[in-house]
Chain A
Amino acid sequence: MVDVRAGAGGFHPEDFEEEEVPHPRSWWTKYVFSQDAKVVALQYAGTAVFVGLIALVLSWLMRLQLAFPGAFAFIDADHYYQFITMHGMMMVVYVLTAIFLGGFGNYLIPLMIGARDMAFPFINMLSYWTYLLAVLVLLSGFFLPGGPTGAGWTLYPPQALLAGTPGSSYGIVVMFVSLVIFIAGFTMGGLNYVVTVLQLRAPGMTMMRLPMTVWGIFIATIMALLAFPGLLVASLMMLCDRLLGASFFMPAIVQDGAPLANAGGSPILYQHLFWFFGHPEVYIVALPAFGIVADLLSTHARKNLFGYRLMVWATIAIGVLSFMVWGHHMFISGMNPIFGFFFATSTLLIAIPTAIKVYNWIFTLWRGDIRLNPPMLYSLGFIVTFVVGGLTGLFLGNVVVDVPLNSTLFVVAHFHMVMGVAPILVIFGAISHWFPLMSGRMLHDGLAKLHFWITFLGTYFIFFTMHYLGVLGVPRRYYDLGQTAFIPPSVAALNIAITVAALIVGAAQFVLIYNFIRSWRHGEAAKPNPWGATTLEWQTPEMPPPHDNWGKQAPTVYRWAYDYSVPGADRDFIPQNQPEQGARA
């Protein structure tokens, strides 16, 4: 999947003596150890997709066990927990974070702001290779004695370290080491994205002229840079506890009649550190998706983005607020009611900017010239999924309702809708939107639509019906329901249906992959700026853009990113780098 030919477009060193973009000298430095942000982006995305496929297969295995308990001998309870843990951690950190920031961030930031490359290209390259190392270390857990950890993706102590939890000998160590490496790698990349946005924007590209995609990635990156230290500290302390006999988190425990060596640790401390990272992480995934969707909607509805300024403010507000709410994951851990009130209020406050965004997307569509091509379909699918997920979130945010629903499949259904399916639909939309830019060819329209409909309807079926299981009281993280009086037999039937849907949806992803590879080679050649978009990445002299993006002349920006259907203009869009004189016929 790591097809790196995007950087292969004509490369004319003589075109840019004044610029110091490092010239690749060999095949290796051009495609493998490349410092071109576009190549790094495809490397990041390709690796993330690979991890995503593993996580997808793990979800199949879990679904098979839930539908046909015990029918597959190799899925025993330990394996089930290892699958859950790896699936969750991979999807959240190694797939979504990596693909939005490492993939789309690298590809789009320099192009959209009119820069030739990242601020520190070498560090950028290093960031990818560190990420790859983290992935390899993570995967090594599958091959070590005892297998990967099965502690659940939150990795709570003390049980994560106790014998009896699968993978407590090696798997857990490998997991934390991999996280530490991931954070180091991400920090290098993240510094690049932030500094590039702040320092390398083209002349005239003020902050308030940035497309929402860049705003989303920019704020999400800052959040990630500041939130990951929480996970880093937690990981290091866990490693000290596990390997060096310290007791940061491990309380005194008697196991099998004998006291363990640890004493005096505080498991609650871990929860604080973890959720200091964990809650912002939700928005680290969501904000880039929000930004990208705003741009796709505006472009494919040929209308300016409704309330751009409010969108920017909402993005910033979400960024700040999400550092104030982590305690809502710990309401039951016994905190001072004053803090409980603080966390509950700040959590409710976050709903305001989020709702603003939803309304603005919808107003953007209102009376637009909507083109139902794949990027638009995925974006509409995103809105529908996100709104449903948000509504079920209202149930869970209500303490009285949350008590019976907590730890049921209702929760699993809810978070898969908001932070699983919704962002992934945006990723698909973004791929279909920017594919012509990356490859110079169009994706096959019919295959893309087929993939959309199977994925959208399929995931909807999986997770919408799963709410119903949750209401019936089916618990989450259960390997086997066994003989449980309150669970009616219909649950088994629905579980089978959900699993069949999950298998179909999973298989449908290969339609996209096939389409991607086929179109990259044989797709219909794309004409320049095929969607008629205003943003700078489509105004490059060549498609795909050369290593230095702009050839001789880097662009100057004269307008914001959303001049669609401007009255009196000769086309229904005016690119950001078009001066006022040329815009009218």
Chain B
Amino acid sequence: MILAVAFVWLLALGAAIFLARQDIAAKPWLERGEIGGYSPDRREPAARTGLIFVLAIVGVLFALIASAFVMRAGDADWVAAPAPRLLWFNTGLLFAASFLLEGAARASAGVDARRADALLLAGALASGAFLIGQIVAWRELAGEGFGLGSGVAAAFFYLMTGLHGAHLLGGLVALAITFARTRGDVVSRSAALRFKLCAAYWHFLLLVWLLLFALLQGWGGGLVALCRTLIRA
């Protein structure tokens, strides 16, 4: 649970920075009249703020799973499941998707709608390929006798990859909506923002995947050992 607590502290830090900018030391009972500087702005920052919270929530979710993994890894009965080689290739695909979407966002900001649409489609395809690759990796692992019921490590493998895949799938739905709403839209600021938010979500999922990947490869050993000494000490 140390990872989860650390993540929550991180969020608290972010919140503290935000609050510090909100002037929470103000004495509102003395300050009547108009206060300059704040006026509401509808849709667009709302979508951005919304995404920040989505990322925080998804972050807590995976921090909790990672915490659970670390707590269990290295128990006497822990039989590590082999990470299929295919994962390396899949990781490459996800990197590519992230790059392509970033390109799409930049093209959209640079008012090149066609290029943006093409890059968006390419990014979606790469993501789809990643998901298919993950399923192939599942089958490979199950074929080697590491099914869901075979042990805790294998179960974690399926849970982590599955949840990550589900979030990517949700992202693809958002991507489809973005594509439908903004096709050929070169003028509006909102199109560029939508692209940018999609790309940000992809970068975040890439980051999450890299951390999960490291854990699944067993590279988290040092961290596991550290946490265990802390708990058992």
Residues of chain B lying within 8 A (CB to CB) of residue A473? none
Chain A residues 552-580 with CB under 8 Å of chain B are 556, 558-560, 562-563, 579-580
Are A208 and B24 within 8 A (Cβ)?
Answer: yes
Are A200 and B40 within 8 A (Cβ)?
Answer: yes
A460 at the interface (CB under 8 A from B): no
A164 at the interface (CB under 8 A from B): no
Are B155 and A200 within 8 A (Cβ)?
Answer: no
Known: A276-B4, A562-B29. A199 touches B149 (CB 8 A): no
Interface 0/1 of B121-158, CB less than 8 Å to A:
00000000000000000000000000111011001101
Known: A225-B57, A229-B61, A339-B231. A247 touches B152 (CB 8 A): yes
Are B60 and A226 within 8 A (Cβ)?
Answer: yes
Interface 0/1 of B14-44, CB less than 8 Å to A:
0100010011111111011111001111110
Most chain B C-beta atoms within 10 Å of own C-beta, residue among A115, A204, A263, A336 = A204
A240 at the interface (CB under 8 A from B): yes
Residues of chain A lying within 8 A (CB to CB) of residue B19? 207, 316
B186 at the interface (CB under 8 A from A): no
Known: A226-B11, A336-B233. A247 touches B155 (CB 8 A): yes
Are A240 and B38 within 8 A (Cβ)?
Answer: no
Are A226 and B232 within 8 A (Cβ)?
Answer: no
Residues of chain A lying within 8 A (CB to CB) of residue B57? 187, 225-226, 229
Are A276 and B64 within 8 A (Cβ)?
Answer: yes
Bound complex: CA A33 to CA B23 (Å): 39
Residues of chain A lying within 8 A (CB to CB) of residue B72? 266, 269
Stretch at the interface among B48-56, B80-88, B104-112, B205-213: B48-56
Bound complex: CA A323 to CA B27 (Å): 28
Are B8 and A240 within 8 A (Cβ)?
Answer: no
Are B64 and A273 within 8 A (Cβ)?
Answer: yes
Stretch at the interface among A4-12, A125-133, A306-314: A306-314
B45 at the interface (CB under 8 A from A): yes
CB distance from A176 to the nearest CB of B (A): 14
A161 at the interface (CB under 8 A from B): no
Bound complex: CA A153 to CA B5 (Å): 25
Are B50 and A191 within 8 A (Cβ)?
Answer: yes
Residues of chain B lying within 8 A (CB to CB) of residue A244? 148-149
Residues of chain A lying within 8 A (CB to CB) of residue B176? none
A403 at the interface (CB under 8 A from B): no
Bound complex: CA A201 to CA B233 (Å): 50
Residues of chain A lying within 8 A (CB to CB) of residue B1? 272, 276
Are A206 and B35 within 8 A (Cβ)?
Answer: yes
Chain A: interface residue count, which band?
35 or more
Interface 0/1 of B63-81, CB less than 8 Å to A:
0110110011001011000
Are A559 and B32 within 8 A (Cβ)?
Answer: yes
B12 at the interface (CB under 8 A from A): yes
Chain B: interface residue count, which band?
35 or more
Are B77 and A263 within 8 A (Cβ)?
Answer: yes
Stretch at the interface among A231-239, A366-374, A506-514: A231-239
Chain A residues 244-275 with CB under 8 Å of chain B are 244-248, 261, 263-266, 269, 272-273
Are B5 and A246 within 8 A (Cβ)?
Answer: no
The secondary structure that dominates the B interface is helix
Residues of chain A lying within 8 A (CB to CB) of residue B28? 206, 208-209, 308-309, 559-560
Closest to A581 in B: B33
Chain A residues 270-313 with CB under 8 Å of chain B are 272-273, 276, 304, 308-309, 312-313
A205 at the interface (CB under 8 A from B): yes
Bound complex: CA A208 to CA B25 (Å): 8
Bound complex: CA A207 to CA B152 (Å): 47
B225 at the interface (CB under 8 A from A): no
Partner of A240, one of B5, B43, B49, B148: B148
Are A195 and B5 within 8 A (Cβ)?
Answer: no
CB distance from A575 to the nearest CB of B (A): 12
Residues of chain B lying within 8 A (CB to CB) of residue A229? 57, 60-61, 64
B230 at the interface (CB under 8 A from A): yes
Residues of chain B lying within 8 A (CB to CB) of residue A247? 149, 151-152, 155
Residues of chain A lying within 8 A (CB to CB) of residue B29? 304, 308, 560, 562
Are B148 and A245 within 8 A (Cβ)?
Answer: yes
Partner of B149, one of A246, A320, A562: A246
Known: A246-B148, A266-B72, A273-B68. A208 touches B22 (CB 8 A): yes
A202 at the interface (CB under 8 A from B): yes
Are B54 and A191 within 8 A (Cβ)?
Answer: yes
A377 at the interface (CB under 8 A from B): no
A399 at the interface (CB under 8 A from B): no
A324 at the interface (CB under 8 A from B): yes
Are B41 and A558 within 8 A (Cβ)?
Answer: no
Chain A residues 503-561 with CB under 8 Å of chain B are 556, 558-560
A194 at the interface (CB under 8 A from B): yes
Residues of chain B lying within 8 A (CB to CB) of residue A273? 64, 68
Residues of chain A lying within 8 A (CB to CB) of residue B5? 323-324
Are B53 and A309 within 8 A (Cβ)?
Answer: no
Known: A244-B149, A266-B71. A236 touches B159 (CB 8 A): yes
CB distance from B135 to the nearest CB of A (A): 16
Residues of chain A lying within 8 A (CB to CB) of residue B226? none
Bound complex: CA A203 to CA B35 (Å): 8
A338 at the interface (CB under 8 A from B): yes
Are A199 and B46 within 8 A (Cβ)?
Answer: yes
Known: A204-B35, A246-B149, A276-B1. A233 touches B46 (CB 8 A): no
Are A580 and B54 within 8 A (Cβ)?
Answer: no
Are B61 and A233 within 8 A (Cβ)?
Answer: yes
Are B23 and A203 within 8 A (Cβ)?
Answer: no
Are B71 and A269 within 8 A (Cβ)?
Answer: yes
Bound complex: CA A187 to CA B50 (Å): 11
Chain A residues 103-127 with CB under 8 Å of chain B are 115, 119-120
A interface residues, Cβ below 8 angstroms from B: 20, 115, 119-120, 187, 191, 194-196, 198-209, 222, 225-226, 229-230, 232-233, 236-237, 240, 244-248, 261, 263-266, 269, 272-273, 276, 304, 308-309, 312-313, 316, 320, 323-324, 335-336, 338-339, 556, 558-560, 562-563, 579-580
B interface residues, Cβ below 8 angstroms from A: 1, 4-5, 8, 11-12, 15, 19, 22-29, 31-35, 38-43, 45-46, 49-50, 53-54, 56-57, 60-61, 64-65, 67-68, 71-72, 75, 77-78, 147-149, 151-152, 155-156, 158-159, 163, 230-233
Taking A206-B22, A244-B149, A563-B32 as given, write out 5 further A-B residue pairs in contact, using a Cβ cutoff of 8 Å, ordered by the A residue number. A196-B46, A199-B40, A233-B64, A237-B159, A312-B24
Which 8 A-B pairs rank lowest in CB-CB distance, beginning with the nearest? A245-B149, A560-B28, A246-B155, A229-B61, A119-B46, A208-B26, A207-B22, A199-B46
